[in-house]
A and B are shown apart, each in its own frame.
Chain A
């Protein structure tokens, strides 16, 4: 297994302290946050088991990364500032692609959906992590970075930095940052949108650290004061059973394939909600029915006025 400096390991105590702080601030009404006991237990337990689940595929991931790195195009110096700047941008773009695929293609949504199953949005939600990400194979999206010549250790560190950054945006305690910051970085406000199930917010704001990718690729949606976020998934879970939280979409895929095997590719790679006869809702049909933009975004104060192109902003 690949040994190296993993910043996430060192960040875990701060994750715990941050949750404690958020709960105490909410308890003494100094910040907006809600914690429900079973929901919190589910989120944290999902995170705990996900650590163990990651170990199962870690060997394969490490071996693949090392093999690709041995066949790299260039050798990027680990001590050069430009190398880390390039890696920062490329890794963040890779995360955007990973995250978009994880929402827009059902097989990868099956691995990612559990992160969105809480009806709460707080720091414990950030820890509701996947058990099946390794099996889903999305880690392969990071292999091109090794092929370019970034060492596996550098990639691991940058992935860790990204994960740590994304932790603190899972909060309602922070409303908005100054405009320049909201324009460039993923923030609690942007990520609240990402976790909301309101039609206008579905499949938006995939950013890891930089929100610029969403702005560039037309998936940006600002949080609208007139449309408060309702968190969770389109079909909310009616259970806190960890196995159901972790595997319900995988089981749903298996059931659909069993019912209609000839539509295998559609069940796997169609958008979540896809059916051969269109009998279920997808993000697109929900948006169309609600009269909100399928492409582009709704501007603050003009909720129902579709904008043609996000790049106009």
Chain B
């Protein structure tokens, strides 16, 4: 590798910094507001069209949600101005760590390691009877 290569890399790195700063200044991310139940259900229907959603818990900051579908937990987490969704076994969600109003779910996925969802309590108080199964 010669000097020209390092000069090129340094200039490219500077250009990356400039462009990221410009993108931050422009404020042109996709306009997505906080997640509500309607939006969450629409996302779930799009991503898991064959699943029936029994209950949905929306994060208090609108940045995520968790739904129950038979023996599965359907997880929505916000990524930038978009969302990523995963399905995991329900017991895995129930056993997730809940601390300081944040549910931290290990998704066991390299591409989606953890979902952090702000909830008032966990497991939820309305999780009774068949829903708890």
Shortest A189–chain B CB gap in Å is 20
For A34, list chain B residues within 8 Å (CB).
28-30, 81
Which chain B residue shows the least CB distance to A247?
Answer: B110
Shortest B110–chain A CB gap in Å is 4
For B79, list chain A residues within 8 Å (CB).
119, 236-240
A9-22 interface bits toward B, Cβ cutoff 8 Å, 1 = contact, 0 = none = 10010001001100
**Interchain CB contact (< 8 A) of A51 among B9, B25, B49:** B9
Which chain A residue shows the least CB distance to B25?
Answer: A27
Shortest B66–chain A CB gap in Å is 14
Does B88 make an interface contact (CB < 8 A)? no
B16 adjacent to A41 (CB under 8 Å): yes
Interface size class of B (residues with CB under 8 A): 35 or more
Does B33 make an interface contact (CB < 8 A)? no
Does B84 make an interface contact (CB < 8 A)? yes
Shortest B7–chain A CB gap in Å is 12
B80 adjacent to A44 (CB under 8 Å): no
Residue from the set A20, A240, A247, A289 with the largest chain B CB neighbour count within 10 Å = A20
**Interchain CB contact (< 8 A) of B80 among A52, A119, A252:** A119
B84 adjacent to A237 (CB under 8 Å): yes
A12 adjacent to B12 (CB under 8 Å): yes
State the CA gap A20–B18 with chains docked (Å). 9
B28 adjacent to A26 (CB under 8 Å): yes
Does A244 make an interface contact (CB < 8 A)? yes
B113 adjacent to A36 (CB under 8 Å): no
B28 adjacent to A244 (CB under 8 Å): no
Shortest B121–chain A CB gap in Å is 24
Which chain A residue shows the least CB distance to B81?
Answer: A36
A24 adjacent to B26 (CB under 8 Å): yes
Q: Which of B6-56 contact A (CB under 8 A)?
A: 8-9, 12-13, 15-16, 18-20, 22-30, 49-50
B76-119 interface bits toward A, Cβ cutoff 8 Å, 1 = contact, 0 = none = 01011111111000000000000000000001011111010000
**Interchain CB contact (< 8 A) of A27 among B26, B113, B115:** B26
With known contacts A23-B26, A34-B30, A40-B20, A248–B83 Cβ distance under 8 A: no
Shortest A55–chain B CB gap in Å is 6
A37 adjacent to B20 (CB under 8 Å): yes
Does B1 make an interface contact (CB < 8 A)? yes
A238 adjacent to B113 (CB under 8 Å): yes
With known contacts A40-B23, A236-B82, A51–B112 Cβ distance under 8 A: no
For A255, list chain B residues within 8 Å (CB).
110
For A55, list chain B residues within 8 Å (CB).
1, 5
Beyond known contacts A124-B23, A232-B82: 6 more, CB 8 A cutoff: A35-B26, A36-B81, A44-B15, A237-B79, A238-B86, A251-B110
Q: Which 10 A-B pairs have the closest CB atoms?
A: A238-B112, A238-B84, A119-B82, A236-B84, A27-B26, A35-B23, A248-B111, A36-B29, A44-B16, A36-B80
